[in-house]
Amino acid sequence: MNIDEVRKTAFAMPLTSPAFPPGPYRFFNREFLIITYRTDREALERVVPEPLEIDEPIVKFEFIRMPDSTGFGDYCESGQVIPVRFNGAKGQYTHAMFLNDGPPIYGGRELWGFPKKFAQPKLHVVRDSLIGSLDYGPVRVASGVMGYNHKSLDHDEILKALASPNYLLKIIPHVDGSPRILELVDYRLEDVVLKSAYTGPASLDLHPHALAPVADLPVREILGATHIIADLTLGLGKVVFDYLA
């Protein structure tokens, strides 16, 4: 393979058998359990990078079931998202994510800069409860429960929230271990088809873990929960701040 062929072919590793295909990436019947809670401002200030700004000390803990996604397959993920502002506009910063499937881990990290690690998240219904769990190896680090679809939510409000900017810190090291890429990325959810949106009473329990420190953003008060099912496309995004420039 000559140099021009390498340049034309390469978009992901390995060169001759990439771990994921080129986008776009469409998700069908993507199911969210999002539990919103109040935490300690000092804890958020330790993990949210400038130039992002914190308004209120709020975190959204997400459990997401993706049964049908182009290129990535059938998998679950879980993690923490923090409402922020950037240049005065409201958005949200993805602080931590845990998945049980290789291709979306590789693609998420390499393309966008999602902070993804391998773990065992799960989202399912047991009788009258929607239950999310996150295990890192044999250790349970998060458990979330919502009463199953007690009250319908306004779809326009949910669509507005889903359209807000999402921010990621993309870090790719040089061969000497120093950062070669260090960027703030803005991505959006596109072509959203909202199928259902409900709320209900909720609880969230977080446990300390050295390698999955979700409990470092402790739960002080549950503010609400949503259960959403939607089709959507994961936009590839753009760089909005270069830390190395």
Long-range CB contacts (< 8 A, 24+ apart) of 109-115?
Answer: 110/12, 110/13, 110/172, 111/23, 111/236, 112/168, 112/170, 112/185, 112/187, 112/236, 112/237, 113/168, 113/169, 113/170, 113/171, 113/183, 113/185, 114/168, 115/79, 115/168, 115/169
Whether 5 is covered by a domain: the verdict is no
**12 belongs to a structural domain:** no
| Residue 230: predicted pLDDT | 98
**Number of compact structural domains in the chain:** 1
Joined tokens for residue 13: 């590793």
> Catalytic: which of 8, 60, 90, 116?
116
Which residue reads 């790719």 in tokens? Answer: 172
Asked whether residue 70 is domain-assigned, the answer is yes
Q: What is the structure's pLDDT at 93?
A: 98
- Number of C-beta neighbours around residue 147 at 10 A: 17
Range of the domain at 121: 20-242
Predicted structure pTM score? 0.96
pLDDT values of the chain reduced to their tens digit, one per residue, 245 residues: 999 999 999 999 999 999 999 999 999 999 999 999 999 999 999 999 999 999 999 999 999 999 999 999 999 999 999 999 999 999 999 999 999 999 999 999 999 999 999 999 999 999 999 999 999 999 999 999 999 999 999 999 999 999 999 999 999 999 999 999 999 999 999 999 999 999 999 999 999 999 999 999 999 999 999 999 999 999 999 999 999 99
CATH number of the domain residue 97 falls in: 2.40.400.10
| Structure confidence by residue, pLDDT tens digits, 122-145 | 999 999 999 999 999 999 999 999
For residue 59, is it within any domain? Answer: yes
Residues 147-157: tens digit of each pLDDT: 999 999 999 99
User: Please, which residues have CB within 8 angstroms of residue 120's CB and are 6 or more apart in sequence?
Assistant: 100, 134, 135, 136, 137
Reply yes or no on whether 116 is catalytic.
yes
